[in-house]
Chain A
Amino acid sequence: MALKKLSKEKVGEALAELSKFRLIAPAKSDDVVVFKQISDPAEAYLEYGNSTVPPKKFAFPQTETLFRFVTGSPDLTAKNVEEEGTTVIFGLRPCDARAMAIVDKLFSWDFDDPYYLKRRELTTLVGMACVEPPSVNCFCTSLGGSPFGTEGLDLLLTDMGDYYLVEALTDKGEKLEETLSSQLEDAPADDEKKAKDMAAASEGKIRRSINTEGIPEKLPDLWENGLWKKVSAACLGCGICTFLCPTCHCFDIQDEVEESGEGRRCRMWDSCMFEEYTVHASGHNPRPTRKERTRNRINHKYSYYPAHFDVIACVGCGRCINLCPVNIDILEILDQVVDA
């Protein structure tokens, strides 16, 4: 597939073209970068490092209606995801796209989750390569990712200065290229090599790492190890590390009923770091303290997930390290696991 280029002058035009779909792009809310639906190309903020909140909510919304009902009536109205329409997530980072590919395995495991999978089917992911690693705590290369990684993406953009190099990676990506045919031009012949060099240079700038070999196999043996108490001592039990994690996918299902009797059953993000996550109806909690909850977070990512799906549920985006209020650092925990 021949590489294309999108001149920066034409980005606005391209985004305008794409806004006939449900267009999601990074945008600023005050000084915070968030992914949101945009209707005006000027809202897109493409010179960003990475978003604080990953774009996972556009595949797996933080709160989503599954169906509506009226108390006492057997009739249910299921949510029709199709109505959300074709969606383009423009400019997400390779780690966040790879995270979606990882989470896909869960939602299509023993039960095909119709809501999630339909939404994924309707969504095209346009990635933005990390010419510079966005943070000192990036470690995607330790997990098999790359600042220029393509897993999960349909199209990859690379900032070449005056223009973006455009590489279609899937049929969906090619279709999107067709949509943008008036904005795209052929890329210079040597750009492929140039991009490869840029990828190598960016990978070389990733400064944190962990050798994950053996960790999934070792974790079950460390269940009673004293390290969990130590690494969780400062934990506040908030949801930052899990809610901002692009692969965390735990949810709760609750009914919300109005006084009129009209209600909805909805699914919402839940966090294994919350106390009531595992509270039984009896009041017993099998994970009574933050020690057990922290142990679960690490085990889920680095042991249970690889056991089921052959891939570690962490992409090395570094958000949980960057934003933890008490500097709990997953790489330090993993180092201790290795050394234990």
Chain B
Amino acid sequence: MVDVNKLREKAREVISREDVRELIGYRPGTYGFRARPAFVMGPDDTGELIFTPACVNNLASYIVLEEKLPVKRGEEPDLRKVAVMVKGCDSRALVQQMEEKAYDRDRILVLGIPCRGVVDMAKVQAKYPDVLEMGEIALEGDKFVLSFNGTKEEVPREELVADKCLRCRYPTPLVYDELLDEEVERFADDDFADVAELEKRAADDKWAYWEEKFSRCIRCYSCRNVCPMCYCEDCVLDRLQPQWMRRSVDISENTAYHISRAYHLAGRCIQCGECQRVCPVDIPLMELNRKFYKDVEDLYDYEPGTNVENPPLLSTFKVEDKEDFIM
């Protein structure tokens, strides 16, 4: 577990650098066990920074979510670096963004945080619905220790940990300028058993399953907005002339939306699971993304977001690429 004082000290040092404009980390939330993104603009803002298993957000999203206003006449664009704290899974988003040449490597300063797992906040909320005053979560061995209202409770890791952490292949960030803690060795693997289960189901079954889920969608686009790989400057969803996708909310448009998004993420989704985490109506979007992930791995032996030198899968051709699935 990264030491909080060391973390703040490092943040202070980084944000004091002349070539760093902003540091994105985590700070305690406003209720319960929440933590939230923190935007540090100067050394005095570092006192609140934390890293705990409550730090679920993938901060790599903010690198591409940044709003660039037109530079006023006579002003120079601010080209200083943005420093960002990333867990292993989150770091893969940075790698993939850079594989796609979304920005130059020297635009960001990466503070890597080796991680043994974060909580699924929905599970925490369900178990402790009445906790309002800020509580804290720590991971000690194979238990989460939750401190709140002057008491401490231990909960087995499996009970509250996010699903993605149970099959985490990259607990230590794959890209970083500085690592804030000891490296964590790979402690789990992903066999995609859940995807294999889904594949086995009959088409009608699958349709009924997804129809129920997609019919709940309210098209708030939180899945798109939170996604570190959804950074098109001009998203097809927002286009009115021509309107590629209708705004009307019904099962047909909702399905088209989610299938389009899943296709756009094929070979790109790095499995941070943010889309599914933020969905207010619990659509299991990662099941779609994981199906593509598995296919890409099986067909091309390619894992997105693992090597900055890799060219993006779907914009490259290799003679040894499989063709047997092409009709």
Contact = CB atoms under 8 A, between A and B. Distances in A.
Interface of A: 29-32, 34, 52-53, 62-63, 135-137, 207-208, 230, 233-234, 236-240, 243-244, 252, 254, 256, 266, 268-269, 271, 274-276, 288-290, 321, 323, 325-329, 331-332
A256 B31 contact: no
A237 B225 contact: yes
Given A63-B248, A275-B238, A239 B281 contact: no
Interface string B227-246: 00000000000101001001
Interface of B: 29-32, 34-37, 39, 57, 61-62, 65, 67, 69, 129-132, 212-213, 215-216, 218-222, 224-226, 238, 240, 243, 246-250, 274, 277-278, 280-282
A207 B220 contact: no
Given A136-B31, A239-B220, A52 B248 contact: no
Contacts of B34: 327
A137 B65 contact: no
Contacts of A268: 247-249
Contact of A62 (B29, B213, B249): B249
A63 B250 contact: yes
Nearest to B227: A236
Nearest to A285: B69
Contacts of A236: 61, 65, 222, 225-226, 278
Contact of B129 (A29, A136, A238): A136
Contacts of B131: 136
B67 A243 contact: no
B227 to A, nearest CB: 10
Contact of B67 (A135, A238, A288, A332): A288
10 contacts: A29-B281, A30-B213, A63-B247, A238-B221, A240-B220, A243-B218, A274-B221, A289-B69, A321-B30, A327-B34
Nearest to B277: A325
A253 to B, nearest CB: 10
A52 B122 CA distance: 13
Contacts of B132: 136-137, 207-208
A329 B61 contact: no
B247 A325 contact: no
A63 B249 contact: yes
Contacts of B65: 236-237
Most buried by B among A62, A207, A234, A275: A234
Given A136-B129, A244-B218, 5 more contacts: A136-B130, A325-B57, A327-B34, A327-B36, A329-B29
B59 to A, nearest CB: 10
A63 B282 CA distance: 21
B282 A233 contact: no
B285 to A, nearest CB: 13
